[in-house]
Amino acid sequence: MTISSSLNAGVAGLNANANRLATISDNIANSATYGYKRAQTDFHSVVIHGNSKTSYSAGGVRTTNFRLIDDRGPLIATTNPTDLAIDGRGFLAVTEASALNSSSGSYPISLVTTGSFRADSEGVLRTATGQVLMGWPANPDGSLNTYPRDTMAALEPVRINANQYVGNPTTQMRLGVNLPATDSVAGSAGTPHDLSVEYFGNLGTSEALEFTFTPTVPATGSSNTWTMQVRDSASGGAVIGEYVLTFNDTELGGGTLASVTATSGGAYDPATGAISLSVGGGTIALDIGELGEANGMTQLASTFSPVAISKNGTTVATLTSVEVDEKGFLYGVYDQGFTRRIYQLPVVDVPNPNGLIALNDQSYQISPESGPFYLWDAGDGPTGSTVGYSREESATDVAAELTQLIQTQRAYSSNAKVIQTVDEMLQETTNIKR
């Protein structure tokens, strides 16, 4: 029994080291594979209980294989903005390109830590092996809806339409104008001052807000009061707002706004210094400055001077490129010089990454051993940030694998020697009969 158990232990040792050699071979073969997670074989002794005082039976060895998915390879820079990697814990959600043609509308999700995504003929971001990037679509204005974080049902294939024209209407405008203080004193002519400011409509058309500033001329002294009338070209030149502006003449804050009274149009918000103007097809937040602050409209003894006028919005624009920031937001970059959020790429995390099921092409699948998933904003909770222009290299350390290869080879040879020795001993036992 003792000799035969030695033989069985030697065979188990051969199998165990052959198993370890397979994982080492796989690791070395994938030392240049982006996102590869090294496989590992662990040895465990097997104990056969018998009468250990009189004889010993060798139990041999058994192995367990697992993949160290939570190991992270170093990140390297690339020239493609949609080469993506996670700098830390977490995964990107992908589906298979074959699922795009499914009539069910559902997409089987797998997880990756890195990928080189490029737009195909239909604008879908996918890798060369057919992994399609998944994300939450943004609204046309770049805002995001609230999506559940414990289901992937709301994720959609990320699609970039490079030939699509988009409008970029003006929604904010800042008006910094100095009104001459000498025009609001007794005896002045009270001549109105006109100002035209261009803005862009919902269809990319060029429109204009026409401002008229009329001083209130008192019988004596100074009124420090002006009437601001606003007309909109997109509304046929109709008056969309009229406001009475009163300015300070005190030692501190002289020339700044003291009060703003709306006689028509949207109300003035003293906390933000903004007026909501209803223009043709939308609204514009007009910032004329906060009360007591020299950051907007002023009345000083100088000329009529539009000193600080700014606005957002452009004419019709086309997409030129895309970029991903560290929060996982995918932005479209347009030829008119503005960017707009078009997708959010959540980062998927599970309690036990090493419990995921490994699939082809460095992708993984949720399993009972991995635990339930949760979709985080990149960089929140335990997850890392999303990095564009980057790939994650293989987690294989070739030097360490070669060292283990030498050890495995020696161990395999030693187990073969045990089998050879047992064979010789059995031969000697057979020779006793002769």
Q: What is the CATH number of the domain that holds 251?
A: 2.60.98.20
Q: Is the pTM of this model over 0.85?
A: no
Instruction: Please check whether residue 75 lies inside any domain of the structure.
Output: no
176 and 275 both lie in a single domain:
yes
3-class SS of residue 126: strand
CA 367 to each of CA 188, 351, 352: distance values in angstroms, whole numbers, following the listed order: 82, 11, 10
- Report the pLDDT averaged over residues 296-300: 94
Whether residues 244 and 141 fall in one domain: no
Residues 221 and 281 grouped into a single domain:
yes
Does position 104 have pLDDT exceeding 80, yes or no? Answer: no
Q: Is residue 174 located within the same domain as residue 307?
A: yes
Same domain? 294 vs 337: no
pLDDT reading at 363 higher than 90: yes
Q: Which domain range does residue 196 map to?
A: 170-312
SS3 content of the chain, % helix, strand, coil (to 5): 20, 40, 40
Between the CA of residue 97 and those of 132, 145, 307, what are the distances in Å?
Answer: 6, 26, 55
What's the rounded Cα separation, in Å, for the pair 200 and 207?
Answer: 6
- CA dihedral defined by 379, 384, 386, 389, rounded to 10 degrees? 140
Q: Is pLDDT at 102 greater than 80 in this prediction?
A: no
Give the HSE-up count for residue 357: Cα atoms under 13 Å, Cβ half-sphere. 7
Do 15 and 61 reside in the same domain of the chain? yes
What's the pLDDT tens digit per position in 35-80?
Answer: 999 999 999 988 887 666 677 788 789 999 999 999 999 999 999 9
Same domain, yes or no: 176 and 299:
yes
Residue 236 has a pLDDT of 93
Query: Which range, of 35-39, 185-189, 201-205, 268-272, averages the lowest pLDDT?
Result: 201-205
pLDDT for 51 equals 64
Q: What ranges make up the beta strands (E) of 288-424?
A: 298-300, 305-311, 314-324, 329-334, 339-344, 347-349, 357-359, 363-365, 374-376, 385-387, 390-392
Q: How far, in Å, are 140, 141, 332 from residue 200 at the CA level? A: 16, 15, 20
Q: Give me the pLDDT at residue 56, please.
A: 77
Q: What is the pLDDT of residue 167?
A: 86
CA dihedral 109, 113, 116, 119 (to 10 degrees): 30
Return d(Cα 151, Cα 374) in angstroms, integer: 8
Give pLDDT tens digits for 373-383.
Answer: 999 999 999 99
Query: Tokens for 399?
Result: 């030097």
What share of the chain in percent tops pLDDT 90?
Answer: 79
Dump pLDDT digits (tens) for 397-421. 999 999 999 999 999 999 899 888 8
- Whether residues 308 and 174 share a domain: the answer is yes
Tokens of 85: 């990697």
The total number of structural domains in the chain stands at: 3
pLDDT in tens, 105-151: 789 999 999 999 999 999 999 999 999 999 999 998 889 999 999 99
Q: Is residue 74 part of a domain?
A: no
Question: Is 214 part of a structural domain of the chain?
Answer: yes
Whether residues 224 and 298 share a domain: the answer is yes
Q: Read off the pLDDT of each residue in 211-216 and give the average, rounded to a whole number.
A: 97
- 83-87, strands of its sheet edge to edge: 114-116, 83-87, 385-387
Structure tokens at 415: 């187990």
Within 10 Å of residue 270's Cβ, how many Cβ atoms?
Answer: 13
What average pLDDT is seen over the chain?
92
| 431 confidence band (pLDDT: 50, 70, 90) | confident
> 172-180 and 282-287 as β-strands: parallel, antiparallel, unpaired?
parallel
**40 and 93: one domain?**
no
**Distance from the Cα of residue 354 to its chain's centroid:** 24
Question: Do 325 and 281 belong together in one domain?
Answer: no
The reply to whether 8 falls in a domain is: yes
Q: Could you tell me if 113 and 54 lie in one domain?
A: no
Give how far Cα 377 sits from Cα of 144, 147, 385, Å: 12, 11, 9
pLDDT of residue 76: 96
Q: DSSP for 403-414?
A: HHHHHHHHHHHH
Which of 312, 328, 343 delimits the end of a domain?
A: 312
Residue 434 has pLDDT above 70, yes or no: no
